Amino acid sequence: MVPGEANTSLAQMRRGAVEYCVLALLRDEERYGFDIARALSGEDPLIGSEGTLYPLLARLRRNGWVATEWRESSEGPPRRYYFLTEEGRTTLTEFIERWNRFKTSIDNLLDGEADRS
């Protein structure tokens, strides 16, 4: 393996999954941008910075998967809250089904179970 190749592969996997992670975060509650960024920036961060999140949120809005609403905040300026649309909810459900099949296939290969069939 070429040095740095694993990091590049991991970054590509994150990019491919992070928009669905955002949809999952919005599944049960509305959130504002900083709150979403904080949730995605945990121990093994899914995003590098807030600067990468806002273009993603804009794309999710253009796709019709999330909608927004401005709300006054007692702690400063108004905040834009993001929430799932019905189309976003359907998209997330479909992704979860595909992800589970994909994850099972990968797990089987990594565990050596694919050779045993």
Q: DSSP character for 75?
A: T
Per-residue pLDDT of the chain (117 residues; tens, 9 = 90+): 445 555 777 778 888 899 999 999 999 999 999 999 999 987 677 877 777 899 999 999 999 999 999 999 888 899 999 999 999 999 999 999 999 999 999 999 999 876 655
Specify the pTM. 0.82
Which amino acid, one-letter code, is at 34? F
* DSSP secondary structure letter of residue 112: T
Domains of the chain: 5-116 (1.10.10.10)
Query: What does the alpha-carbon distance between residue 75 and residue 108 come to, in Å, rounded to a whole number?
Result: 49
For 70, phi then psi, to 5°, come to -80, 135
Strands (E), 7-98: 31-32, 66-73, 76-84
C-alpha atoms less than 13 angstroms from C-alpha of 12 in its C-beta half-sphere: 6
